């Protein structure tokens, strides 16, 4: 599928799914069609006489969709393990049914639209796109795709207005622009390890040696940091920051010309710089250890609302520019200037504000 101008309908695979594509929404006399979704609670039943019991996650008991299967015959850890169309659609349905970001996602019509967008994304990005029959292709869906799509979808959907097919295509376009580079690095374990070594650790060490020592002073803890790095990067801070702040960050990622690898590394480092005092306090506390630092970063959603996201984006942009231009010695200076300009003593700030008001009165 080489064009975004033709959306493929999700195939009907079983009797439990809707037998026709329909919508109550019209735009310019053209119906926007999508497969209505039957909620899982209506499909599942405890009635012994009902033989049509649907499995929810047929592969999850054997392998996690985010990880590489240990049973794979391939020796290459960068190779993704895919699923057939039935299993893919079942997991997508399950993930969508669990979305709690907004009640609109419990609407069968909205669920059908989300399902259609995700399916078209998988077709477009499919490594197995030489297969003409979409029923026979292997699909590489990963948990987390639906959450990022949900945030994008919310920016276009309004209950009182009809969402057009052009808007759906644009949602898909934005999703592709965001997910393609994100997926390559942060949804493959081997690539994530490479990113940590090649970008994150190198840039962090040049930006702030103290932060580097706190997180990586004990080299045996390198992989422990992946626990929180996976959480932060795969959903682009959705679990750590308010959605409004995430949208600002995503806008910077989409509009800046820097690579996703560098931009995400600099964003993470910028956030760490802002909370450096907290991390230093934990590090110096004899009653605490590296596990406490990991816990702090895993529970960052309790602190993320206090960040000035515009300052974080500004700092990360300066770091990206210095890194990409090869001015690596400037990285630490940029961080020190940021700390100096934003960590003003509150008593001094109050005095400055009073003086400023007095001068303003004299002028008036």
**Residue in 147, 129, 150 with CA at minimum distance from that of residue 138:** 129
> What percent of the chain is modeled with pLDDT above 70?
74
pLDDT tens per residue, range 250-278: 999 999 899 999 999 999 999 999 999 99
Q: State whether residue 9 is helix, strand or coil.
A: coil
> What is the CA angle 279-280-281, rounded to 5?
90
* Residue 262: per-residue pLDDT: 98
Residues whose CB falls within 8 Å of the CB of residue 212, separated by 6 or more in sequence, listed in order:
201, 204, 205
Residue 21 has φ and ψ, to the nearest 5°, of -95, 125
Give residue limits of the domains in the chain.
26-183, 189-348
User: Average pLDDT of 313-321?
Assistant: 98
Q: Give the burial class of 303: count Cβ atoms within 10 A of its Cβ; 0-12 exposed, 13-18 middle, 19 or more buried.
A: middle
Residues whose CB falls within 8 Å of the CB of residue 51, separated by 6 or more in sequence, listed in order:
none
Separation CA 100–CA 244 (nearest Å): 16
Separation CA 318–CA 340 (nearest Å): 15
Q: Which two tokens mark 177?
A: 């622009």
Q: Could you tell me the pTM of the whole model?
A: 0.78
* Residue 67: per-residue pLDDT: 43
Architecture, CATH, for domain 189-348: Orthogonal Bundle (1.10)
- pLDDT score of 52 more than 70: no
User: Crossing angle, helix 260-274 and helix 276-284, to 10 degrees?
Assistant: 70
pLDDT tens per residue, range 93-137: 999 999 999 999 999 999 999 999 999 999 999 865 655 689 989
Q: How confident is the model at residue 364 (pLDDT cuts 50, 70, 90)?
A: low
pLDDT tens per residue, range 140-181: 999 999 999 999 999 999 887 889 999 999 999 999 999 999
Separation CA 348–CA 180 (nearest Å): 47
């Amino acid at each position: 599928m080489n064009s975004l101008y033709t959306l493929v309908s999700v195939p009907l695979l079983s009797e439990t799914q809707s037998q026709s594509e329909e919508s109550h929404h019209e735009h310019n006399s053209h119906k926007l069609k999508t497969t209505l979704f039957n909620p899982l609670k209506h499909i599942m039943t405890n009635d012994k006489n009902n033989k049509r019991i649907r499995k929810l996650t047929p592969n999850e008991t054997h392998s996690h969709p985010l990880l590489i299967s240990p049973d794979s015959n391939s020796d290459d850890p960068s190779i993704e393990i895919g699923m057939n169309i039935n299993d893919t659609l079942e997991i997508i349905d399950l993930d969508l049914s669990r979305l709690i970001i907004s009640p609109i996602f419990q609407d069968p019509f909205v669920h059908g639209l989300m399902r259609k967008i995700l399916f078209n994304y998988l077709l477009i990005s499919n490594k197995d796109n030489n297969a003409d029959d979409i029923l026979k292709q292997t699909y590489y869906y990963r948990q987390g795709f639906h959450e990022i799509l949900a945030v994008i979808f919310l920016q276009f959907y309004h209950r009182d207005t009809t969402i057009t097919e052009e808007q759906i295509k644009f949602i898909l376009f934005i999703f592709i622009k965001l997910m393609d580079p994100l997926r390559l690095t942060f949804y493959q374990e081997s690539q994530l390890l490479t990113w940590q070594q090649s970008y994150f650790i190198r840039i962090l060490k040049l930006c702030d040696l103290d932060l580097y020592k706190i997180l990586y002073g004990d080299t045996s803890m390198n992989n422990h940091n992946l626990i929180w790095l996976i959480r932060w990067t795969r959903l682009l801070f959705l679990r750590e920051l308010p959605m409004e702040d995430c949208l600002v960050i995503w806008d910077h990622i989409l509009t800046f010309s820097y690579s996703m690898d560098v931009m995400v590394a600099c964003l993470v480092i910028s956030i760490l710089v802002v909370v450096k005092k907290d991390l230093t306090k934990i590090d110096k506390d004899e009653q605490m250890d590296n596990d406490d630092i990991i816990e702090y970063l895993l529970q960052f959603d309790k602190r993320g609302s206090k960040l000035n996201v515009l300052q974080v984006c500004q700092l990360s942009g300066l770091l990206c520019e210095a890194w990409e231009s090869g001015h690596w010695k400037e990285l630490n200076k940029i961080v020190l200037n940021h700390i100096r300009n934003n960590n003003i003593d509150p008593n001094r700030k109050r005095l400055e504000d009073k003086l400023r008001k007095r001068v303003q009165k004299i002028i008036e």
